[in-house]
């Protein structure tokens, strides 16, 4: 095999976070910050997983990997039990190694791939709700499927994408237990997707990408704790909270119609960004840092909302079409001076 490179984007939830947990619709899009994998063949028969951004550099010999039998597990996250003694790393490095071993083991059962080095680099911050693990899963599954000869058009056909998404979802199960599947779907297909639990995600086929400023508060958040806090509030006040969740669902529906009408960045979209943030704040998942981002951007006429679980993490700001790059630089600089980290992105690009 000749060396090759594959890449996949991160994701951002535009509307519907938290409500999606209760069966409402969420809208997500791809962000143009990507993970890249470079695969090069090796002559010594070894397999090297090199992830310089998270300090992983492990060598597997083919007998170690051939001994894995993921198909005997009842859940992908149990792959850990077949790797005792091999994985010393902790945190994201450990998760990445386990994901790789699971996917390698599964695809090895379907076709030998010889020795190679896979080096993955990513522009996505880890643990910020931008789908870094799903982008990693998609580049891994694409690379391994390509190496085992499963892809007909190097990922370009609908059939190839389906297979890539299937294995990337398995990778997400290793990393997150019971993921919804939206992150890997966005990383595989790109564009904008409407997602409702228990249904296939629906591509919105918008022709226009959106300019979005993503601001990382750098305040650590726990998705699990925030989801639990909404659950508690709902148990105490079911009617009140269900009304809020229904309103969020209506926002996602409105956004879906706007995207499909091919006029995504209009004043109606700004309205629903503000409405969605207000409802999330009412559910108690905002944070002073997120409110600060809103104040700074609103002072320049730009609408912002939290994205993902809230409680810190990231906010998104819509950049209207008539706002110049220099004006965006100024607001990003102001946010940077307060201690936040900004990324100017385009949402809705290729998978």
Residue 308 near ligand PMV by CB under 6 A: yes
Give the one residue of 6, 15, 18, 265 binding ligand PMV; rule: CB under 6 A.
18
- Could you tell me if residue 83 is left (phi over 0), alpha (psi between -120 and 50 degrees) or otherwise beta? alpha
Look up 183 and say whether it is catalytic.
yes
Tell whether residue 20 is a contact of ligand PMV (CB under 6 A). Answer: yes
Q: Contact letters (x/-) for ligand PMV, 247-286, by CB under 6 A?
A: ----------------------------------------
Please identify, among the stretches 11-19, 34-42, 94-102, 140-148, the one whose residues bind ligand PMV according to the rule CB under 6 A. 11-19
The DSSP string of 83-135 is: -TTT----HHHHHHHHHHHHHHHHHHTT-----EEEEEEESSPTTSSS-HHHH
Q: Residue 56 and residue 50: Cα distance in Å, rounded?
A: 6
Binding mask 217-236 for ligand PMV (x = CB under 6 A): ------x---x---------
- Asked if 312 contacts 287 with a C-beta cutoff of 8 angstroms, the reply is yes
**What is the per-residue DSSP string for 170-228?**
HHHHHHHSS--SHHHHHHHHBSEEEE-TTS--EE---SS-EEEEEEE------HHHHHH
The nearest distance, CB 144 to ligand PMV, in angstroms, is: 25
Which residue number has the CB closest to ligand PMV? 308
Q: Which of 4, 21, 148, 202: binder of ligand PMV (CB under 6 A)?
A: 21
Helix (H) or strand (E) holding 138: helix 132-147
Shortest distance, position 172 Cβ to ligand PMV, whole Å: 11
- Residues that bind ligand PMV in the complex, under the rule CB under 6 A: 13, 17-18, 20-21, 129, 180, 223, 227, 308-309, 313
């Amino acid at each position: 095999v000749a060396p090759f490179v594959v890449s996949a984007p991160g994701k951002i939830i535009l509307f519907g976070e938290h409500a999606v947990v209760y069966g409402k619709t969420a809208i997500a899009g791809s962000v143009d910050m990507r993970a890249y994998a470079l695969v090069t063949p090796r002559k010594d028969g070894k397999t090297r997983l090199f992830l310089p951004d998270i300090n992983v550099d492990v060598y597997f010999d083919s007998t170690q990997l051939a001994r894995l039998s993921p198909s005997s597990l009842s859940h992908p996250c149990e792959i850990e039990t077949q790797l005792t003694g091999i994985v010393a790393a902790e945190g994201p490095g450990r998760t990445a190694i386990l994901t790789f071993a699971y996917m390698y083991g599964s695809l090895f059962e379907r076709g030998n791939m010889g020795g190679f080095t896979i080096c993955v680099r990513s522009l996505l911050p880890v643990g910020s709700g931008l789908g870094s693990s799903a982008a990693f899963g998609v580049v891994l599954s694409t690379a391994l499927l390509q190496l085992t000869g499963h892809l007909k058009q190097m990922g370009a056909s609908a059939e190839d994408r389906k297979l890539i998404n299937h294995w990337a979802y398995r990778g997400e199960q290793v990393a997150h237990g019971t993921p919804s599947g939206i992150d890997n779907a966005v990383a595989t297909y790109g564009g904008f997707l409407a997602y409702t639990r228990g249904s296939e995600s629906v591509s919105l086929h918008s022709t226009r990408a959106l300019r979005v400023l993503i601001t990382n508060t750098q305040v650590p958040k726990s998705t699990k704790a925030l989801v639990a806090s909404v659950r508690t509030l709902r148990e105490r006040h079911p009617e009140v909270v269900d009304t809020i969740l229904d309103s969020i669902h209506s926002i996602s529906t409105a956004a879906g119609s706007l995207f499909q009408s091919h006029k995504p960045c209009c004043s109606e979209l700004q309205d629903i960004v503000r409405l969605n943030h207000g409802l999330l704040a009412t559910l108690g998942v905002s944070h002073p840092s997120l409110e600060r981002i809103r104040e700074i951007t609103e002072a320049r006429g730009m609408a912002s909302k939290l994205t993902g679980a809230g409680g810190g993490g990231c906010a998104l700001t819509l950049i209207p079409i008539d706002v110049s790059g220099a004006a965006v630089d100024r607001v990003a600089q102001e946010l940077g001076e307060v201690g936040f980290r900004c990324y100017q992105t385009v949402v809705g690009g290729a998978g």
